[in-house]
Amino acid sequence: MKAVEVHDLYFSYRNGRVLNGISLTVEAGEVLGIIGPNSAGKTTLLRLLSRVLIGEAGTISLYGRDLNALTKREVARTVAVVPQEFQVAFPFTVEQVVAMGRYPHARGIGLETAEDRRATEHAMDETVTAHLAAKYLDQLSSGEKQRVVIARALAQQPQLLLLDEPTTHLDLSHQVEILGLLKRLQAERGLTIILVSHDLNAAAAVSDRLVLLKEGTVLTAGLPEEVMQPEIIEKAYGCAVWIDTDPETGKIRILPRL
Amino acid sequence: MTPTRLLTVMGILTAGLVGSIVLALSVGTVQVGLGEIVGIFFGKLLPNPVSWTETHETIVLSLRLPRTLLAGIVGSALALAGAGFQAISRNPLADPYVLGVSSGAAFGVVLGVLTGLGAGAGILFLPLFGFVGALVAAVVVYGIASIDGRLPVHTLLLAGVVVSLFFSSAIMLASALMQAEELQGVVFYLMGNLRVVSYPTIGIVVGCLLIGTALIYAQVLPLNLLSAGEEAAAQLGVEPERVKRIIFVACSLVTGAAVSASGSIAFVGLMVPHAVRLCLGPDNRVVIPASLLAGAIFLILADIVARTVVAPTEIPVGAITAFLGAPFFAYLLRSRYRSVSP
């Protein structure tokens, strides 16, 4: 089963074209890493996949259905997004923020149902945020906050989880924790995960496959060891890199040559 | 949010509202006792040992009751509009007065009076003039203030000042065409002033308030989600543009109706929702209905102060709310600016 099929997708903002005929497929249950230099169109692709933006040309199908034929709310029952920045203007508690993820399933004025409470609690258990329930977002560390935002996405009960730079603002141990959480969600929930990352080591370690974007097109797609070749990375980023494999874990390691 | 908690909060506020109405009916140059008030309302239904004079009955039913009802309804309307504007702008400093929406409504109303369309039987259409004026002001403020779909706090406040000044000077220009006694009326009106109005006028304002409340309450969940930003809300299935349009129309409607009945009373929409959020949290499912009740209580109490503090002279209730609201606004600006600026 294909979770996502993107075919020949084009998109422009007012100041220019960002996606230039992108095609890719995502298998259900896999982790796909999207990498590429700045302004390659990574975040824009995520916004199109969550139907916040609509493409100019090309098609996106989500579990076999045309994305444009679905309402925003229908999409939100299948696709959840963990954005790069997340701020709440008023002092909502962690629990209230997580419960917001129930909106795509809500009816009427949305008084909480037993199902809502169960999904919210489950999401907080999985992300180890239950003990933070009564706190406010600005009282949390970056790692805790990121787990809360992931919990909010899980409360949506999605099949596909999109993450934009989920580890950028985190220190090493929190990066490991978040990446471990993603692998666990893939294994336990059978979630399909697409993550955009500037951290090539993290992307290579956590992804089943990688897609390398440059200037709105797919430069290469394939297994991490196929994409993480010095000549390919050098072509994409325009700088020399050093790549090898960790003999113990078999994970790819990449460093820029300074 | 559990239904029990919502009902408890509403119960307490409703009791507070009834209490403040009774107080408003009782207090004034002539004191009317609690027993008399109960008698005046229910004496025909129940055997009542307390007797009351016809003068007191007239004071309560023909003077204090319509004025108190108007105070309550205008307070509700302004607090509702404040809560709505704050939710879509993600900014606790927004309110119809600060945003210049009240000025727009006042200009619409003055224009209605000046053209004669709002005179005589047309007085019932004044809320419509207020609505159009408020909507124009709200749309202009939004247009000036938004940068790439965001409403930074400084551009929003500046746009509010600009629009407010523009409509104030438009009113001054319009009032240059007026007779002296008309002019005095307009000046008194602009300061925000409750007076005795006819029951049909109250009915129209209530109608606008009910429509506005229904429109806004149908969007409470999207309003909660919008506090995390428009994109985050859209990713959960909200249509931010549609929600904003509905809220603009609804808030302008209730502001227009309130201003047409009582002028632009300052800062009620700023203080009431803020106090409600402080006590009950930011969930709009509670904030919206609680603001309606708390706004009514607040303005009824402010009006009691306005007509008793230097009795028998009355001061405009807008002076009382501004006297409290301006320092409150300054405090919010100082203490909250960091957390509200994007």
Question: What ipTM was estimated for this complex?
Answer: 0.90
pLDDT for position B2? 65
* Residue A248 burial (10 A CB sphere; 0-12, 13-18, 19+): exposed
- Distance, in Å, from the CA atom of B74 to the CA atom of B263, rounded to the nearest integer, reads 10
Decide if A96 and B339 are in contact by the 8 Å CB cutoff: no
A55: in domain: yes
Length of chain B: 342
From residue B129, alpha-carbon distances to A251, B134, B141, B190, B207 in Å are 70, 9, 18, 15, 15
Ordered mean pLDDT values, 10 residues apiece, chain B (342 residues): 79 96 90 84 70 83 91 96 93 88 92 74 78 92 81 82 92 80 74 79 92 96 93 92 91 93 89 90 93 96 91 85 85 61 37
Number of structural domains in chain A: 1
A54: in domain: yes
Question: Phi, psi (5° rounding) for residue A20?
Answer: -125, 60
pLDDT for position A109? 65
A 10 A CB-CB count for A197 gives 24
Report the interhelical angle of B126-145 vs B153-175 (nearest 10°): 140
- Distance, in Å, from the CA atom of B307 to the CA atom of B313, rounded to the nearest integer, reads 7
Q: Which residue of A has its CA nearest to B3?
A: A111
| Per-residue model confidence as pLDDT tens digits over B298-319 | 999 999 999 898 878 888 898 8
pLDDT for position B51? 75
Query: Looking at this protein, which amino acid is placed at residue B281?
Result: G
**For residues A171 and A15, is the Cβ–Cβ distance under 8 A?**
no
Domain with residue B334: its CATH number is: 1.10.3470.10
Decide if A104 and B236 are in contact by the 8 Å CB cutoff: yes
Q: Which residues of B touch A (CB under 8 A)?
A: 1-3, 6, 90-92, 217-218, 220-222, 224-225, 227-229, 231-232, 234-239, 277, 281-283, 285, 339-340, 342
Q: Which among B3, B225, B229 is the nearest to A87, CB-wise?
A: B229
Residue with tokens 């700088």: A239
A82 min Cα distance to partner chain B (Å): 9
- Using alpha carbons, select from B84, B7, B105 the residue that is nearest to residue B272: B84
Domain with residue A76: its CATH number is: 3.40.50.300
Residue with tokens 């399933």: A105
Residue with tokens 């307490």: B12
Q: Answer whether A90 touches B (CB < 8 Å).
A: yes
Pairing between β-strand A31-35 and β-strand A192-196 as defined by DSSP bridges: parallel
Cβ contacts (< 8 Å) between A87 and chain B: which residues?
Answer: 228-229, 342
- Distance, in Å, from the CA atom of B120 to the CA atom of A223, rounded to the nearest integer, reads 80
Q: Which among B220, B222, B282 is the nearest to A90, CB-wise?
A: B282
Cβ contacts (< 8 Å) between A50 and chain B: which residues?
Answer: 235
- Distance, in Å, from the CA atom of A220 to the CA atom of A230, rounded to the nearest integer, reads 13
pLDDT for position B44? 67
Enumerate the β-bridge partners of residue A33: A195, A210
A 10 A CB-CB count for A213 gives 26
**For residues B277 and A93, is the Cβ–Cβ distance under 8 A?**
no
Cβ contacts (< 8 Å) between B220 and chain A: which residues?
Answer: 109-110
Question: Phi, psi (5° rounding) for residue A108?
Answer: 60, -140
Number of structural domains in chain B: 1
Q: Answer whether A100 touches B (CB < 8 Å).
A: yes
**Structural domain containing residue A238:** 2-85+158-256
Cβ contacts (< 8 Å) between B91 and chain A: which residues?
Answer: 89
Residue with tokens 């931010």: B240
**Structural domain containing residue B138:** 3-340
Please report, in tens digits, the pLDDT of each residue of chain A (258 residues total): 899 999 999 999 988 899 999 999 999 999 999 999 998 999 999 999 999 999 999 999 999 999 999 999 999 999 999 999 999 989 999 999 999 999 999 876 667 889 999 999 999 999 999 999 999 998 999 999 999 999 999 999 999 999 999 998 889 999 999 999 999 999 999 999 999 999 999 999 999 999 999 999 999 999 999 999 999 999 999 888 999 888 888 888 898 887
Transcribe B76-100 into DSSP letters: HHHHHHHHHHHHHHT-TT--TTTTT
A203 min Cα distance to partner chain B (Å): 24
